[in-house]
């Protein structure tokens, strides 16, 4: 199977290569793709060096699968070109997520909706992925009316430039490029640009993508997305208003038996999920599960996941695995 990774030299692209290798995905020929300035450079995969090629070369090679992490404009231009030669595209940008005829997929939640006719498939926003992993089983059992979420997102969500800037500021370089303000020893309540309604694009992504993935436009989502000086893994404080009442122990058992979700919730032992523990792992971790006593049928929880893995690369490879298991690639 020929597999192209578009954006192979970037942070997420590199993680895609790592996940493909870790999961022993049946790659017979790897095609790393990047911009012209990176053509001719090399990436490592399973101990072998592969030369980076441009998109035109990759398309001519007619891969069966292309994993994209190269930005929205690139995806809009190139994904249809790859699809036109029979290549399945799993795109990590926001370019295709809200297109009516493009599936937005978290395999554990709605992987069953994929069909043989899906040539371009969208990978959701990293913050949305980890949240719906916990919301989906709750919605199925209790029904969800409203979600209020505040995120604590690591600098790697902005790519290598975000990590580099945090480290540079810690070393004394006060230059600000990747974020709106200094990120070291600070918290910035802005991710992406502001829209006309006062919310950022990141906040609106969480609201719109959640409804699409869950297949229910009645779910109301209000998000505040925040950048914090952490290198890896996003955290979320989530308040969930349910349609039906619940017992906290039942919620913990339900989430604890959900594939891909691990519950860490023991206040007596100071046990709860933290970014430092989620880094490098593919699961979504949930803790601080407790009733909201300010109104009926409402609970609070804390959700943490590695944004480069389950929030991006792992989810994309899992989508590819569904395609492969069905014999479509």
* Dihedral angle of Cα 107, 110, 116, 119, to the nearest 10 degrees: -70
In this structure, are residues 9 and 40 in contact, taking their beta carbons and an 8 Å threshold?
Answer: no
d(CA 120, CA 91): 7
Angle between helices 11-22 and 314-325 (to 10 degrees): 50
How many residues in the chain? 329
Give me the helices (H) in the chain, please. 11-22, 55-60, 72-84, 107-110, 126-142, 160-170, 201-214, 248-256, 275-278, 314-325
Enter the tokens of residue 103.
């599936």
Phi, psi of 15 (to 5 degrees): -70, -35
Beta-carbon contacts of residue 6 (< 8 Å; ≥ 6 apart):
13, 33, 34, 55, 58, 66, 67, 68, 69, 70, 74, 78, 82
Catalytic-labelled residue, pool 87, 139, 234, 301: 234
181 tagged catalytic: no
d(CA 236, CA 127): 8
Encode 124-151: b = buried (16+ Cβ within 10 Å), e = exposed. bbbbbbbbbbbbbbbbeebebbebbbeb
Angle between helices 248-256 and 126-142 (to 10 degrees): 120
**CA nearest neighbour of 13 among 56, 71, 64:** 71
Catalytic-labelled residue, pool 126, 181, 247, 324: 126
126 tagged catalytic: yes
User: In the structure, how many helices (H) and strands (E) does the chain have?
Assistant: 10, 14
Which residues are annotated as catalytic? 126, 234
């Amino acid at each position: 199977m020929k597999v192209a990774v578009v954006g192979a030299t970037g942070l997420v692209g590199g993680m895609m290569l790592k996940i493909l290798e870790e999961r022993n995905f049946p790659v017979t020929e790897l095609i790393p793709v990047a911009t012209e300035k990176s053509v001719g450079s090399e990436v490592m995969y399973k101990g072998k060096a592969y030369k980076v090629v441009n998109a035109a070369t990759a398309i001519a090679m007619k891969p069966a699968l292309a994993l994209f992490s190269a930005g929205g404009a690139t995806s809009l231009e190139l994904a249809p070109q790859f699809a036109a030669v029979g290549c399945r595209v799993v795109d990590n940008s926001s370019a295709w997520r809200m297109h009516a005829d493009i599936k937005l997929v978290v395999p554990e939640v709605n992987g069953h909706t994929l069909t043989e006719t899906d040539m371009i498939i969208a990978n959701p926003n990293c913050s949305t992925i980890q949240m719906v992993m916990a919301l989906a089983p709750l919605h199925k059992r209790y029904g969800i009316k409203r979600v209020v979420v505040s995120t604590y997102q690591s600098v790697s969500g902005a790519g290598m430039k975000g990590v580099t800037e945090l480290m540079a500021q810690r070393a004394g370089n006060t230059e600000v490029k990747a974020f709106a303000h200094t990120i070291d020893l600070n918290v910035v309540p802005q991710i992406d640009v502001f829209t006309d309604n006062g919310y950022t694009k990141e906040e609106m992504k969480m609201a719109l993508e959640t409804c699409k993935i869950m297949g229910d436009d009645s779910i109301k989502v209000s998000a505040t997305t925040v950048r914090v000086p952490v290198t890896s893994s996003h955290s979320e404080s989530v308040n969930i208003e349910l349609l039906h009442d619940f017992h906290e122990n039942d919620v913990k058992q339900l989430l604890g038996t959900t594939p891909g979700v691990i519950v860490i919730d023991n206040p007596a032992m100071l046990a709860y999920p933290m970014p430092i523990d989620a880094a490098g792992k593919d699961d979504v971790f949930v803790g601080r599960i407790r009733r909201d006593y300010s109104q009926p049928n409402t609970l609070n929880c804390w959700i943490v996941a590695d944004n480069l893995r389950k929030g991006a690369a792992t989810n994309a490879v899992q989508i590819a695995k569904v395609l492969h298991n069905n014999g479509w690639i």
